[in-house]
A = this chain, B = another copy of it.
């Protein structure tokens, strides 16, 4: 069985949407990635850091989903990373109200020994040098290293570090605006081609409610977001997508472009659940049957039978 190594934040979020607001709840890229990938019954480990204010119950919940949290460092006397944001009425944009780096400011990731040969590595959004450090600790070159990042690291202060890690990964997942910023190209087709030249053989461009595109060597695959009656809270949707993508590839071990299409669909499918409730709530309580049922909906939504002549 392949193993999935996940690095990213484990954090507190406080979220406000047009539908309500939360106090500090469980959040963080690695949390969403882990919960999503756990749907494939794989072995995974999270490398992260929290303060001693982080509830033991949250770690237990992750462990019960077969996610190894031994490499989640708990800093005595430290406070957990905290993010607070408010979504606009269309849920497509948000304002960050507060960011407290706390223990994340001095995070030195340590890859556990039994994951130094993990076949798949998922680098959640973090300082590029932290992501790079994880890659450098691997004893065996992973079959697939996947990088998620964001526009913050594309600013002058970080772009050189970001380029270093981009050059070392196989897949990058970013949103459409970030792809444009990183490449300087407006057309996503051109942007993806430019980013492929920076290193990654596969470029995944996330368009939120407008779906996701997978580019590879002139080939393109597209998965829509499932049209939902109501999107309740988009927080974590991108990480859930990435976690589903990485988890499915870890389970199947098939890294062909055709199978990556399936991974994109699985990621989109899982993300469609994530947005239905606040934070991680929906992902903590997700049944195999409803996941399969919604995959069937994805088929009906996208598959057609045109005969070509």
Q: Which residues of A contact B (CB under 8 A)?
A: 89-90, 186-190, 207, 210-211, 213, 219-222, 224, 227-231, 258, 261-262, 265-266, 292, 295-296, 298-306, 308-309
Contact = CB atoms under 8 A, between A and B. Distances in A.
- This protein's copies in its complex: 2
Nearest to A264: B304
Contact of A187 (B89, B230, B298): B230
B219 A300 contact: yes
A90 B180 CA distance: 12
B302 A302 contact: yes
Contacts of A207: 210
**SS class, residues of chain A in contact with chain B:** mixed
B228 A189 contact: yes
A222 B299 contact: no
A90 B188 CA distance: 12
A90 B186 contact: yes
A124 to B, nearest CB: 25
A185 B295 CA distance: 26
Given A207-B210, A210-B207, A304 B228 contact: no
16 contacts: A187-B231, A189-B228, A190-B229, A221-B304, A222-B224, A222-B302, A258-B304, A261-B304, A261-B305, A262-B304, A292-B308, A295-B306, A296-B308, A302-B302, A303-B303, A303-B304
Given A207-B210, A298-B306, 15 more contacts: A89-B186, A187-B231, A189-B229, A210-B211, A220-B300, A221-B300, A222-B302, A258-B304, A261-B304, A262-B305, A262-B306, A266-B306, A295-B306, A296-B308, A299-B308
B227 A301 contact: no
A305 B258 contact: yes
Contacts of A262: 304-306
Nearest to A309: B292
Contacts of A266: 306
B292 A188 contact: no
Given A262-B306, A295-B306, A213 B227 contact: yes
